[in-house]
Amino acid sequence: MPPVYSGAKWERVGEDGANNRLQVMFRGATKVTLDAKGRMVIPNRYRDELLQRGQGKLIVTIDRDQCLLLYPFPDWEPLERKLMSLPSMHPQSRKLQRLMVGHATDMELDGHGRVSVPQELREFAGLDTRGMLIGQGNHFELWDETRWNGRRDLWLTSEETTTDLPSELDSLTL
C-alpha cells in the first residue's frame, strides 16, 4: 500500500491517517521552584514535547494525595470525557467529577517556558517555593518538596505486602 500523508504538515502518517509518532512518556523526578506569583519553569527536557503535543497548553487539577496533576491538554480531554460520562447519581463518581473536573484549570507555557499555577491550587498542595515535578507517563504530579520526600520515604519503608498489588502486576519483572 502506498504511504498516506497528512495535509496539515505533509508528514507521513499511518494507514488510518493518524500520526503514529511514538509519544514521549514523562518520567523522572525534578526539583522545581515557584516564584512569588506562582510561576514555575518547566524543565527544558519536557518543553518541546509539551509544545508539540498540545501547543504548550496544559490542565492542572488536584489529586487526593494532596498534590497537583498536570496534563498536556490533548491527554486531559479523553480523561475529562470519561469522568463526565460516569453516572452522576453515584456519590463516588460525583465526588471525583467535582474534585478533578471542578478544579481543572487551563495553563499555558509562556515565552520563558513557565506556567502560572493558580493560588488556590498551590494552597491545596501546600506549594510555596520548592516543589517536585514527578513524571507519570502522560502527565506530571507536582508536589511540595517536603511533602514529596515524606511520602516517598513512607512508601519506601512501608511494610504493605505484595498481596495488595493488582493482579496485572503479578507477572511484572523488575
CB neighbour list of residue 129: distance below 8 Å, 6 or more residues apart: 33, 34, 35
Query: Is residue 67 one of the residues assigned to a domain?
Result: yes
Q: Record the pTM.
A: 0.80
CA distances from 108 to 12, 13, 55, 121, 150 (A): 28, 28, 8, 16, 30
Query: Is residue 38 one of the residues assigned to a domain?
Result: no
Query: Is residue 167 one of the residues assigned to a domain?
Result: no
Q: What total of structural domains would you count in the chain?
A: 1
Query: Is residue 98 one of the residues assigned to a domain?
Result: yes
Over its length of 174 residues, how does the chain's per-residue pLDDT go in tens digits?
A: 555 544 544 544 445 555 544 567 899 999 999 999 999 999 999 999 999 989 999 999 999 999 999 999 999 999 999 999 999 889 999 999 999 999 999 999 999 999 999 999 999 999 999 999 999 999 999 999 999 999 999 999 887 655 566 777 666 665
Q: Give the range of the structural domain holding residue 79, as residue numbers without chain letter.
A: 45-148
Query: Is residue 171 one of the residues assigned to a domain?
Result: no
Query: Is residue 6 one of the residues assigned to a domain?
Result: no
CATH at residue 64: 3.40.1550.20
Query: Is residue 154 one of the residues assigned to a domain?
Result: no
Query: Is residue 160 one of the residues assigned to a domain?
Result: no
Closest CA to 59 of 42, 44, 76, 45: 76
Q: Which residue has the cell 504493605?
A: 160
